[in-house]
Amino acid sequence: MQIFHRSTNLISRFSIFGGVVFVAFLGWALYTIALSSWYTRQNYTEQQPVPFSHRHHVGELGIDCRYCHVTVEKSSFAGVPPTQTCMTCHSQIWTNASMLEPVRASYRDNTSLSWIRVNALPDFVYFDHSIHINKGIGCTTCHGPVGDMPMTYRAGSLYMSWCLDCHRQPEKNLRPRSEVFNAFYQQPSGDTPVTYNGVQYTNQETLGKQLLTDYKIHDLTFMQSCSTCHR
């Protein structure tokens, strides 16, 4: 005996196929969300205690990265400047700017400024600044156009795939060590040739290959070994 009318078949068909479509949609939606900059915080700026502008300090004034990030060549951690570093200049200029009051207060009261970390990696990733600097990876390769950032934002997704893109093909991003701290570096092209070791390079491919050997960049097995970054 039939309990259900024939028309209910439509409902069951719809729910079966609809279910498949729904699961597929859900998967796509989650995937898109996970890749979205809303989720990765890529290109988002944070409300910092002091609205520090890299564009002004680096782009307009031309202060070297290492003036503030002193340990970047020596340690895994690039270092965020102590208040004292800010005060080397700001005890002389803009001494009354209200924007800088938190800096003066920090120096006066001996309490640290608390910046919000923009480029945060999970704790199981052991990134080391010094070795990347040493191997010819420029600051802006990962941190983006810092010299043009009025407020600092995260330039990459910082996903593992983002790291591996470069670990698998480092030659695409290598630059001469002399250019590592150049915040406005352009990859070699006909218009912007790059001189390395007295030779002018006009494309990244040849320069990258040369640097790959000169800087003794490891082979793919090492660059993809788990313990290279995870411990």
Least spacing, CB of residue 218 vs other proteins, in Å = 7
Least spacing, CB of residue 123 vs other proteins, in Å = 7
Q: How far apart are CA 83 and CA 100, in angstroms?
A: 11
Least spacing, CB of residue 155 vs other proteins, in Å = 16
Confirm or reject binding of residue 91 to other proteins (CB under 8 A). no
Q: How far apart are CA 172 and CA 174, in angstroms?
A: 6
Residue from 130, 182, 187, 210 in contact with other proteins (CB under 8 A)? 130
Confirm or reject binding of residue 210 to other proteins (CB under 8 A). no
Residues 6+ apart with CB under 8 A from 72: 65, 66, 78, 79, 129, 130, 133, 139
Confirm or reject binding of residue 71 to other proteins (CB under 8 A). yes
Confirm or reject binding of residue 227 to other proteins (CB under 8 A). yes
Retrieve residue 38's tokens: 């809303």
* DSSP category for residue 134: H
Q: How far apart are CA 81 and CA 223, in angstroms?
A: 31
Residue from 14, 28, 39, 159 in contact with other proteins (CB under 8 A)? 39
Least spacing, CB of residue 216 vs other proteins, in Å = 7
Residue from 13, 56, 74, 168 in contact with other proteins (CB under 8 A)? 74
Confirm or reject binding of residue 187 to other proteins (CB under 8 A). no
Amino acid at 32: T
Q: Which long-range contacts (CB under 8 A, 24 or more apart) does 58-67 make?
A: 58/146, 58/147, 58/183, 59/147, 59/148, 59/183, 59/184, 64/181, 65/139, 65/146, 65/181, 65/183, 66/181
Least spacing, CB of residue 181 vs other proteins, in Å = 16
Confirm or reject binding of residue 107 to other proteins (CB under 8 A). yes
Residue from 2, 92, 110, 197 in contact with other proteins (CB under 8 A)? 110
Size of the site for other proteins (CB under 8 A): 45
Whether 213 contacts 219, CB under 8 Å: no
| Residues contributing to the site for other proteins (CB under 8 A) | 30, 39, 46, 71, 74-77, 79-84, 106-107, 110-117, 120, 122-124, 126, 128, 130-131, 134-135, 216, 218-219, 221-222, 225-228, 230-231
